[in-house]
Structure 1
Amino acid sequence: MRITASFILLFQLAIMQVAVSQQLVEKTQGTSEFSVTKSFSEIKANADYYEPYQAREFKKPNPVVYHPEFEINPKEVVFMENLQSAPVIKTNREVSPMPDTTFLGLYDSGNSIPPDVNGAPGPDHLMVTLNTEVRIQDRVGNALSTMSLGMFWNDLPGGSTFDPKILYDAHENRWIFVTCSSSEVGSSRLYLGVTESSDPTGVWHLYSFITDPQSITWFDYPSMGFNDKWIAVGGNMFGGDFYSTMWVFDKHAMYDGVASVPYTRFATNQGFTLVPAITFDQTEENMYIVSSANSNQGGNGYISLFKVTGPTASPSFSKVGDIGTPNPWAGSAGNNGDFLPQLGSSQKINSVDHRMENVIFRNGKIWAVHHVFLPASNPQRTAVQWWELSPAGEILQRGRIDDPSNLMSYAFPTIAVNDFEDITIGHGSFSSQQYASAAYSFRFHNDEPNTMRDPYTYKNGLASYYKTFGGGRNRWGDYTATMLDPINGKDFWVLQEYAELPSGGDRWATQWARIRTPFAPQSDFEANEVLIPLGENIRFTDLSEGVPQQWEWNFEGAEPAQSNEQFPSGITYNTEGTFGVSLTSSNDFGTNTLTKPAYITVSATLLPEVAFEADKPLICVGGAVKFTDKSNYMPREWEWSFVPATLTFVNGTDAFSQNPEVVFDEAATYSVSLKATNLNGSSTETYFDMITVGGLSLPYTEYFDGEDFNAGGWSVENPDDDVTWEIVTVGGLEGVSTAASVDFFHYFAIGQRDRLISPSFNLRNYENVNLSFRHAYAARRAQFADSLIVYISDNCGENWTRLFADAENGNGNFATHPLVEGFVPENVWDWCGVEWGADCKTFNLNEWIGKTDVKIAFETYSFYGNPIYITDVELGPTVGIETAGENSQLLVSPNPATELLVIEDAAAQKINKLMIVNTLGQVVYRLENTGLSRITINVKEMPAGIYLVEATVGAQQNLRKLVIN
């Protein structure tokens, strides 16, 4: 709950009574304010560019504290639990199962309390969405991408983001992401984003919605659910009025990425924090909504049930009724909510209030969860209270995760339910004997009704915690995440907050846990090899779902023929043929057998299929290469050989190692052979000219048209880890569409150097060697200029000699285009050697002839100008981009031309090659080996426009601008 420093009025509403006569629902409809479709790579690039220069926003809790209680009308009570059916707390219960895995979500970045913990699993990724940052991880915890929450939504109008929540729609394979924008009246927005697929690193459709068109209130604390028709988001409206809203969006319109998404907005004073259900039943047309109502009215506690019904485009909102229990609770406690105990400090942790946290609809039933304060008359602890309801409001189950001794408190719960109706509730764990910790409680569907197993603390807190940013509350939560695994629909993921070790102040952090759910096993397995030599042994891996406890393997034709291990190894096949394998896996819930007939094939003639790879194909003399054997069919022995044999094995390897590491001692091209032997015999494979040592031979040309710099053997030195060399698309050159570039325009760090380094070259056995390249650049400011420096090294980059350095002085000495704000080369005269500006650069390298391990480097010095572009890098005996200026002998007339065009050399030399190129770099006329010094062309049919004439006379390339009317 947010989180703005600008809201300084402290208004506490401890009890809010809403009379029955005032209960109203107002319905309005509209469409999204703004939408944009962006790839995640674009969002990330935008974040990487802007984030270093964004002032870090400190997010403080909203000082307005609301603990509303709603007067219950007995006529609206649809179900009242009786004392006899209320759950009894047992003292000795089984502890919830341990997690299968647990790892970090995100650390405290130091600029937000509370973090508003949320996250969700997908089939291939995890997403963590906090007030501070958004992180995408793989399913074993590796961080794939991290950015600030605000930068994720940066393409939408508004800003000042808070209260993010994320869900994964497993039926449609989409991510759904909601966030609030601005806690100020007049600028409050709701952000909503959905993916185009199951991949959160793919395309996102992002939408913004004005939360109050009348600019009286602002929107806070979103609660999100969905069904087959709608995405629903509930929230609380504060400011000049107080009420709750339920937003209903056309889910498939949003999934389709339509530009203007319709919505229906229901405003009501019938409840606080209306929580829509995450609906797993695809045939359920209604959207059910639950909220806390009154913690203790007449000795009873109440929650309220609502629903949205009707057509997708014209839904209706109604109250089903209030649901009561004779086991009341308090709705809040403590000093402004600071109530939860912790080890090592008398400062309490804020517990907020008894609002509903999340709701699930599954198998025709409704599950909901919140924490409550007990005992109702004088709270000493918090407990987690969960509900199972029918759509009519009948209580099917109600339970509490509670410690009546008052030692432990449990708070900020969320619930998930699988198709068996097993339940996991993730929650925080608090005690004077424990630092604030991450925990969960589990329930098997056949456990005793109304009960949960004892909590399992999967991440213990590490220190006491107190952080208020100068406010009056030590905030925690406000919420957490417990989700179903979309891969099998049975396992659970929990993301909880815990107290980390302090670093520059007290810190929170978040931790994932995955809980595998036992159920009747579904057997599956794999072998490490299925086609093997005679007499070989293999191993098997159990892949069964359902957490089996026993395994019975049968291996036809093998020794041993049976095993009870989960992962049997050393299974030997001494007879040729094809054999089946079966696995029977069992647990308390059942037994399942899988047989794979003809799974293993044993051959007495099967020889190794030899294959191998090297980590580097090009190195300098004295460089090391690691070789990796990739041979099939289970070789046991290896023998490597090299031609020439001038090399040294290092790091304990030799010619008979499976994966040797080799230092090459001579400038040469090496061929590599591997002889691999299995139980049946040997095979040999040779890769000729596999490793080049000492440098590439000439001639050499680089257009930077590979997937990245590494593909061409180039490398980048980026000392400040900021804007640097990249491969970009350019125009204006025939057959060339890419260049290496540094974007000075978006490089705010002045005076930084970035170096693009070539692969090594071997300059032996040449009489003449030149280096040339094409460049394009336009200055952005007359008084400032970016620089380009060119270096050469003859010892693999250990030492460098400067070949060239220049910066634009305003006279076209280096720039290829006049002064301009923003520059990308689009036509041929944007490049060097044409019309305005500098010639292309050519350097003689004869001083380095006979050397090996020669490298070239292009270094930039940033001064906040336009991007620089380099392409067509050439090394060779006769390279050089020769250009002709105003003193050229090439004549083009008339110019402008309309019909006949005459091109001739004033000295009557033969024109060897002639091309006319349009502004897109396309050749519209070509003539070679003409033997003529004067050529006449009919240009009447050519479209009017600007062209470039390229004529080669002798060894000189002449360029002329041509206008056709």
Structure 2
Amino acid sequence: MRIITVIALSISILTGLNSQKVEFKKERLEGVQKIATINFNDIDDPYFINLKNLEAPAVSGNSYKKYLSELKEGLTLSHPKNNNLPISKRSIVNPPETISSFSGLISPDVGIPLDNHLATNGGQVISAMNSQIAIKSSGGDDLVGFSLESLAEVLNLPDRFFDPRVLYDTEADRFIIVFLHGSDSENTNIIVAFSATNDATGDWHVYELTGNPNNDTTWTDYPMINVTQTDLVVTGNLIFDNQPWQTGFAETVLWQIDKTNGYAGVPLVTNLYQDIVSGSTFIRNLCPVESADESLEASTYFLSNRNFSVENDTFFLVELRGGINDPNTSIEIDVLISDVAYGVPPNAEMFFGELQTNDARVLEAFYLDNEIQFVGNTRNLSNNKAGIYHGTIFDVSGGRDVNLRHLIGPEFEIGYPGITHTGIDPGENDVILTFGHTAKNLNTGISAVYYDPVFGYSDIISIKDGEGYIGMISGPLERWGDYAGSQRDFSDPGTCWISGFYGNSARVNMPWVVKLTRPSTATPVLEQEISNNEIRVFPNPVAERFSMTFEIGELSSDIEILLFNQNGALVDKLYASTSIKSGLNEFSFDISTLSAGHYIIAVNSGRTKIASQSLIVSE
């Protein structure tokens, strides 16, 4: 392996109209040799050996665990949980529907935490977790399975494997698996495996990258991955050995890897990016923003936030511009402010003990139609219970407004969400959100909700009921997460696959794979076709007069403002004009003549929707 260059380049830190220049380091390495080509069918694993520590280390090390525990203890005192939630009526949006479901395991033994992830090409499903890799048919039949310990033996690598991530490359029709090996600076590597064909049970080319790129006392933790037109992108946190949390985190680094060479099994070319900072602070936990549909992007966005804050509204949008062979790759960072705050979540209650919720980092995100949708854990600011946030960054190429919404179970807490795009036609930005649920009187299971940008959220439904609470570690605090897997089924538009977490009757955390579809009647059918663009607010009850704002980018003709009822039928044409001035506009009208109920106001130009908003008229 040759180190070609070490370059100091500039990052643009964008905060509105202000810009600040800092430096980052780019290191190019060529000739990263393959360590093996293995056929998954040939791995002989009759025993599915799994060794797990029942005092499992927390994500990002034990100092992180201690710090987070103290933070949550203080949070419990300063922000006690309550049941102060507004009374809500049943949603008019239908929930997602289950097509099929099955166990994500081949052997019943699991790791702590579960760290389950998933990828599929429509015919095969790879279910990966801290204990094993299980490859199944789309109908749930076992194809190939083996423990991570057996894989380590085949690769002649000692120590433990953990934090598996897996993805399906739509353009190459191939799979990629990434996991970590070793958790100290003397023994830390990133293992990357590329499938040689679209058959996940066949040959895989395996490579090893150092988890200690600076040859100091750090090791790599918590990888996240994405694929672009030319590259595999891997992010990871560098953690110092045996340091308290305040100094234990070194930085988050970014690997850019030539995926074509990986699929071919020839030496890799990589770029390593370091010193990614905002001001003087390293940006932590870079979550790659995936492409929502089959078309891959040339560049990559990443999202981060202030994940340890009790309450904060800041997000960091990082863009890596240029592919692996672009000599002029650059990084831009935009500091964004959301309209609603998020915060580190409290631990979630079970029948006995609690489930660990970690922090408020961004867990999954995707890009589509100049928007980014993303999810993560949060403290619900209404009742201080464990919930999730669902955010949208509108106009990514321009103003980048951030709209954040909180979700909470009516009588239970939720965590570790995934998000998958389920639109079929152009302009449809609807999604399915999945997450874990738990309560003192509700066993740990998996829930889902459907979201339509025009009509809002469906009711939360359980897609896998728990059979018991989790009781694997000594003490009252059990692991939950640290993440879950979700992916669009690119061979079956409108559907997605997810790997979630439930408690079985033996009080063990178990993975469950579910194929979901958006509802057969996704939303009330409107009497005209409109393309989804944006919705910025929750429906709120109003008494006498309704007002809304919307923005016209340029002079538009044939503007109509229409009123629909909850069934999607046109109630009235409220306003029409052949021209409206560009910029921000406010529309209002008296609602005293409307019957009580749920309405949708749509601002259209021809068959294009400019804006929409929900309206609830009270008695």
> What's 1:263 paired with?
271
Aligned equivalent of 1:243 = 251
Q: For residues 465-505 of structure 1, give each alpha carbon's deviation from its aligned partner in whole angstroms, at most 9, with x where no partner exists.
A: 2222x478411111111110021343111110000011xxx
The 1:282/1:486 distance shift into structure 2, 3 A limit, reads closer
The residue number in structure 2 matching 1:105 is 104
**2:198 paired residue number:** 198
Bigger RCO of structures 1 and 2 (CA < 8 A, at least 6 apart):
2
How many percent identity over aligned positions? 18
Show the counterpart of 2:51.
Answer: 56
1:163 aligns with 163
- Identify the residue that residue 230 of structure 2 maps to in structure 1: 229
Query: Unpaired segments of 5 or more residues in structure 1?
Result: 1-19, 69-87, 334-338, 522-545, 549-587, 590-965
Q: Look up the SS of the partner of 1:100 in the other structure.
A: strand
Q: Distance in 1 between matches of 2:296 and 2:445?
A: 39
- RMSD of the alignment, in Å? 3.3
Q: 1:340 maps to what in 2?
A: 348
Structure 1: how far apart are the matches of 2:367 and 2:186? 35
Q: What does residue 127 of structure 1 align with?
A: 126
Letter in 1 for 2:469: S
2:322 matches 1:310: yes
| Structure 2 CA distance for partners of 1:295 and 1:65, relative to 1, 3 Å | closer
| Aligned twin of 1:361 | 367
User: Aligned partner of 1:155: which letter?
Assistant: L
Match of 2:211 in 1: 211
Contact 1:426 1:480 in 2 (8 A): no
Question: Are 2:278 and 1:278 equivalent residues in the alignment?
Answer: no
CA contact (8 A) 1:438 1:458 kept: yes
How far does residue 375 in structure 1 lie from its aligned partner after superposition? 2.2
Q: How has the CA–CA distance of structure 1 residues 55 and 442 changed in structure 2, closer, same or farther, with 3 Å as cutoff?
A: closer
In the TM superposition, what is the alpha-carbon distance from 1:305 to its structure 2 partner?
Answer: 0.3
Distance 2:140 2:395 in 1: 37
> Residues 185, 306 of structure 1: CA spacing in aligned structure 2 closer, same or farther, 3 A cutoff?
same
| Structure 1 contact 371–385 (Cα < 8 Å) conserved | no
Q: What's the offset of the Cα at 1:311?
A: 4.2
Cα offset, 1:90, TM superposition = 5.4
**Alignment deviations for residues 124-168 of structure 1 (CA, whole Å, 9 cap, x no partner):** 111100000100101111111210023335326454100001111
Structure 1 residue aligned with 2:460: 455
How far apart are 1:205 and its partner, in Å? 1.3
- Indicate if the aligned counterparts of 2:116 and 2:129 stay in contact, CA closer than 8 A: yes
Which residue in 1 is equivalent to 2:144?
Answer: 145
**8 Å contact from structure 2 (residues 171, 294) kept in 1:** no
Match of 2:478 in 1: 474
- Whether the 8 Å contact between 1:401 and 1:452 is mirrored in structure 2 is no
Give the Cα–Cα distance (whole angstroms) in 2 for the partners of residues 34 and 64 of structure 1.
35
Greater displacement, 510-519 / 119-128: 510-519
What is the Cα deviation at residue 23 of structure 1?
Answer: 7.0
**Distance (whole Å) between structure 2 residues aligned to residue 308 and residue 316 of structure 1:** 7
Taking structure 2 as the reference length, the TM-score comes to 0.68
C-alpha contact 2:99 2:516 (8 A) present in aligned 1: yes
Letter in 2 for 1:302: T
Residue 516 of structure 1 aligns with an amino acid whose one-letter code is T
| Residue aligning to 1:352 | 358
Give yes or no for contact 2:110–2:509 (8 Å, CA) kept in 1: no
Give distance in 2, aligned partners of 1:218 and 1:190.
10
Distance 2:140 2:155 in 1: 28
Q: Measure the CA separation in 2 of the matches of 1:281 and 1:111.
A: 32
Q: Report how far residue 319 of structure 1 moved.
A: 3.5
User: In 2, Cα distance between the equivalents of 1:479 and 1:223?
Assistant: 10
* Cα distance change on mapping 1:194 and 1:107 into 2, 3 Å: closer
Q: CA deviation at 1:442?
A: 1.2
- In structure 2, C-alpha distance between the alignment counterparts of 1:471 and 1:247, rounded to whole Å: 38
Contact kept in structure 2, 1:281 and 1:362, CA below 8 Å: no
Alpha-carbon distance, 1:234 to partner: 1.1
Q: CA deviation at 1:461?
A: 0.7
Q: Which residue of 2 aligns with 1:940?
A: none
CA contact (8 A) 2:188 2:210 kept: yes
Which deviates more from structure 2 when the two are superposed, residues 28-37 or residues 303-312? 28-37
Q: Structure 1 residue 246: deviation in Å?
A: 1.2
User: TM-score of the superposition, structure 1-length normalised?
Assistant: 0.45
Distance 1:138 1:56, change over 3 A: same
Distance 1:341 1:520 in 2: 35
Q: Does 1:497 align with 2:501?
A: yes
Q: Distance in 1 between matches of 2:509 and 2:315?
A: 32
Q: Cα distance 1:475–1:249, how it changes in 2: closer, same or farther (>3 A)?
A: same
Q: Does 1:320 align with 2:333?
A: yes
1:321 CA drift (Å): 1.2
Q: How far apart in 2 are the matches of 1:332 and 1:289?
A: 22
1:294 Cα offset (Å): 5.6
| 1:335-734 aligned within 5 A | 339-342=347-350, 344-345=351-352, 347-375=353-381, 379-392=384-397, 394-395=400-401, 397-403=403-409, 407-419=411-423, 420-444=428-452, 447-448=454-455, 451-468=456-473, 470=474, 473-502=477-506, 506-517=507-518
**CA 1:311 to 1:178, structure 2 compared with 1: closer, same or farther past 3 Å?**
closer
Displacement of 1:459 in angstroms is 0.8
1:119 counterpart letter in structure 2 = L
The answer to whether structure 1 residue 92 and structure 2 residue 98 are counterparts is no
SS state at 1:99 partner: strand
Q: 1:465 to 1:282 in 2, by over 3 A?
A: closer
Distance 1:179 1:507, change over 3 A: same
Q: CA shift at 1:416, angstroms?
A: 1.1
Residue 15 (structure 2) aligns with: none
Cα offsets for 1:206-259 (capped at 9, x unmatched): 111012231321111111111102111111111155211111111222222213
Assess if the C-alpha contact under 8 Å between 2:160 and 2:182 holds in 1. yes
Amino acid at match of 1:304: F
Q: State the one-letter code of the partner of 1:459.
A: K
Q: 1:325 to 1:139 in 2, by over 3 A?
A: same
Partners of 2:318 and 2:87 in 1: CA distance:
29
Match of 1:608 in 2: none
- Is 2:432–2:518's contact at 8 Å kept on the other side of the alignment? no
Match of 2:42 in 1: 45
Q: 1:414 to 1:251 in 2, by over 3 A?
A: same
- Taking a change above 3 Å as real, the CA distance of residues 479 and 55 of structure 1, as seen in their structure-2 partners, is closer
Q: Which letter maps to 1:356?
A: V
Matched AA of 2:377 = H
1:786: which partner in 2?
A: none
Give the number of the structure whose residues are more often strand, by fraction. Answer: 2
472 and 97 in structure 1: CA distance in 2 versus 1, 3 angstrom threshold:
closer
- Change in CA separation of 1:24 and 1:351 when aligned onto 2, cut-off 3 Å: farther
- Separation in 2 of the partners of 1:124 and 1:159? 33
Residues 255 and 270, structure 2, Cα contact 8 Å, conserved in 1 = no
